[in-house]
């Protein structure tokens, strides 16, 4: 079937979905196009001049993609991106359909695709990117993805198939990510955090892969930034963190060590596209976070800040960031739906240092009592449980005094629910 027909047809469908307000219709046009022609993506990209940037990793995809898109746009480039959450093959196909013009041309300088961990090997088969940014691999949704070693093995096989057309931009501080460039044809660049603020020598409970990706021996670290990320080396086979192409930048638009990594990845990419540091700095200084990622929402005259916390590492990092901000009132929302991962066992791997400094912690979500149990065993006493999320938010708002913020740590679907209550709008 002619692809131009699939594009027209898809565009029409997506208009209808939007008119009928069918919410989650953003992946359907792509889904149908791929069903009718499984080579749709490969074929429509073959003659395109648009440079493809793919961002993958457990944590930080959305923020990194947003930083890149913002900076490129500010610099006068034409950029499009797949819709947040539409990060499988059908999401890519859909975004191509929507962004092809009626003459059948993709009139853009760059496409930024944020890709799901599990879908990455499949996506790389269909489209060989100009740039592939790999941020990290953490334990996340084991019920869906399986163990992280399995994901890393699949990535390695897929990346071995890439050519010198692709530049890999890798997090050198994550041993499993750094190792992905071994024996590839690609051009490889590495970012990492130059020196840690808190020098840790041993990994924490949520750490996943502090074993040598080359020989399986336990790794040694000169320092650890968080989880299993840091300046690593192996005493046995002498593998070590690759030499960094970038280890610091003049401006970090979002707080938290994890956002340092997202920023460094973006800068390394933007420099490759020819952007000057001064221009990068300027666009970063006006950066507004993606929804739910440290996003600030006004509600009943008070400020609410949402820190998406979808797995033990992102929870630990969000918690640390708000503790450093001296948060007083915290709402934790724990759901166990498919986008969250149905298994919430990971809450026992999170660390809660300084929990006694919170004046109030409110808990809600599908698994409110599991989280409450977690706090009970932490011997924290000033928590309240709410089966109803709206009630939890109202109570939180009333407890916040003066210029204080209400901080919310939700899992993925809980973040969507929370935002809907705060803004009255649905995102997906």
Partner 1 sequence: MKKTYSLPTTNYRLTIGWLYPDLMSTYGDRGNITVLQKRCEWRGIKTKILQINHETTDQELNTINLLFGGGAQDKEQGIVIESLRKKERALKNLVENNIPCLFVCGSPQLFGKYYEPSEGKRIEGLGIFDMKSIHPGPKKDRLTGNIAARLEIPGFTNTLIVGFENHGGRTRLGHSVKPLAKVLKGYGNNGEDGTEGVIYKNALGSYLHGPLLPKNPEIADWLIQKALEVKYKKEIILSPLDDTLAKKAKEMIAKKLGVKL
Of the candidate spans 51-59, 118-126, 144-152, 401-409, the one that interacts with partner 1 by CB under 8 A turns out to be 144-152
Gap between the Cα atoms of 186 and 3, Å rounded: 30
Sort 396 into a burial class: Cβ within 10 Å, 0-12 / 13-18 / 19+.
buried
| Site residues (CB under 8 A) for partner 1, limited to 338-367 | 342-349, 366-367
- The full DSSP string for 287-330 is --PPTTEEEEEEETTEEEEEE---SHHHHHHHHHHHHHTT--EE
Of the two residues 150 and 251, which places its CB atom closer to partner 1 in the complex? 150
Closest CA to 152 of 112, 85, 209: 209
Residues in the chain: 428
Q: Do 392 and 417 touch, CB atoms closer than 8 A?
A: no
Residue 235 interacts with partner 1 (CB under 8 A)?
Answer: no
Q: Which is nearer to partner 1, 107 or 143 (by Cβ)?
A: 143
Active site residue 343: yes
Task: State the minimum distance, in angstroms, from the CB of residue 242 to partner 1.
Answer: 22
In the list 49, 103, 243, 381, the residue contacting partner 1 (rule: CB under 8 A) is 381
Binding mask 269-308 for partner 1 (x = CB under 8 A): ----------------------------------------
Pairing between β-strand 405-410 and β-strand 302-307 as defined by DSSP bridges: parallel
Of 114 and 210, nearer to partner 1 (C-beta) is 210
Nearer to partner 1, 31 or 337 (CB): 337
* Backbone conformation region of residue 413, classed left if phi is above 0, alpha if psi is from -120 to 50, else beta: alpha
Q: Which stretch binds partner 1 (CB under 8 A): 35-43, 284-292, 372-380, 397-405?
A: 372-380
Per-residue contact track with partner 1, 190 to 229, x per CB under 8 A? ---------------x-----x----x-x-----------
Q: Which residues pair with 113 in a beta bridge?
A: 54
C-alpha distance from residue 115 to each of 29, 51, 59, 187, 410 (Å): 18, 16, 11, 20, 21
Stretch that binds partner 1, among 138-146, 225-233, 260-268, 275-283 (CB under 8 A): 138-146
377 binds partner 1 (CB under 8 A): yes
Among 343, 349, 366, 417, the active-site one is 343
Residue nearer to partner 1 on the CB measure, 158 or 373: 373
Residue 252 contacts partner 1 per CB under 8 A: no
For 40-106, give the DSSP string. HHHHHHTT--PEEEEEE-SSSHHHHHHHHHHHHHHTT--EEEPPTT--SHHHHHHHHHHHS-TTS--
Q: Which is nearer to partner 1, 55 or 206 (CB)?
A: 206
Select from 139, 302, 310, 320 the one that contacts partner 1 (CB under 8 A).
139
Region label for 23, one of left (φ > 0), alpha (ψ between -120 and 50) or beta (otherwise): left
Burial of residue 144 (number of CB atoms within 10 Å: 0-12, 13-18, 19+): middle
Catalog residues that contact partner 1 under the rule CB under 8 A. Answer: 139, 142-143, 146-149, 205, 211, 216, 218, 312, 342-349, 366-370, 372-374, 376-377, 379, 381
User: What residues are labeled active site?
Assistant: 343
């Amino acid at each position: 079937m002619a692809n131009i027909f699939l594009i027209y047809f898809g565009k029409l469908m997506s208009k209808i979905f939007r008119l009928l307000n069918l919410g989650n219709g953003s992946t359907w046009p792509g889904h149908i196009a791929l069903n009718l022609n499984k080579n749709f993506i490969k074929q429509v990209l073959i003659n395109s001049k648009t440079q493809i940037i793919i961002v993958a990793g457990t944590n930080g995809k959305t923020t990194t993609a947003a930083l890149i898109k913002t900076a490129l746009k500010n610099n006068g480039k034409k950029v499009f991106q797949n819709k947040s959450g539409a990060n499988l093959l059908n999401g890519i196909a859909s975004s191509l359909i929507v962004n092809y013009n009626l003459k059948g041309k993709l009139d853009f300088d760059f496409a930024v695709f944020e890709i799901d961990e599990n879908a990455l090997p499949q996506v790389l088969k269909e489209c060989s990117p100009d740039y592939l940014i790999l941020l990290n691999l953490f334990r996340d949704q084991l019920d869906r993805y399986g163990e992280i070693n399995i994901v890393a093995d699949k990535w390695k096989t897929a990346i071995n198939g890439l050519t010198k057309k692709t530049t890999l931009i890798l997090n050198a501080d994550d041993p499993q990510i750094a190792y992905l460039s071994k024996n590839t044809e690609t051009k490889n660049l590495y970012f990492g955090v130059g020196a840690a603020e808190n020098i840790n020598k041993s990994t924490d409970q949520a750490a996943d892969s502090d074993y040598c990706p080359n020989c399986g021996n336990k790794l040694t670290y000169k320092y650890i930034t968080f989880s299993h990320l840091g300046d690593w080396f192996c005493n046995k086979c002498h593998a070590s963190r690759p030499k960094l192409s970038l280890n610091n930048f003049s401006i970090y638009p979002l707080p938290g060590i994890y956002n340092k990594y997202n920023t460094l990845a973006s800068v390394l990419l933007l420099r490759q596209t020819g952007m000057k540091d001064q221009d990068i700095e300027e666009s970063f200084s006006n950066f507004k976070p993606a929804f739910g990622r440290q996003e600030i929402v006004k509600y009943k005259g008070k400020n609410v800040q949402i820190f998406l916390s979808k797995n033990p590492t992102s929870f630990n990092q969000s918690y640390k960031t708000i503790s450093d901000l001296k948060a007083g009132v915290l709402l934790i929302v724990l759901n166990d739906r498919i986008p969250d991962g149905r298994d919430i066992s990971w809450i026992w791997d999170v660390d809660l240092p300084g929990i006694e400094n919170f004046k109030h912690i409110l808990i809600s979500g599908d698994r409110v009592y599991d989280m409450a149990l977690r706090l009970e065993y932490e011997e924290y006493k000033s928590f309240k449980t709410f089966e109803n999320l709206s009630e939890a938010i109202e109570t939180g708002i009333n407890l916040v005094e003066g210029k204080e913020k209400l901080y919310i740590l939700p899992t993925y679907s809980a973040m969507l629910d929370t935002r809907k209550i705060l803004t009255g709008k649905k995102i997906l």
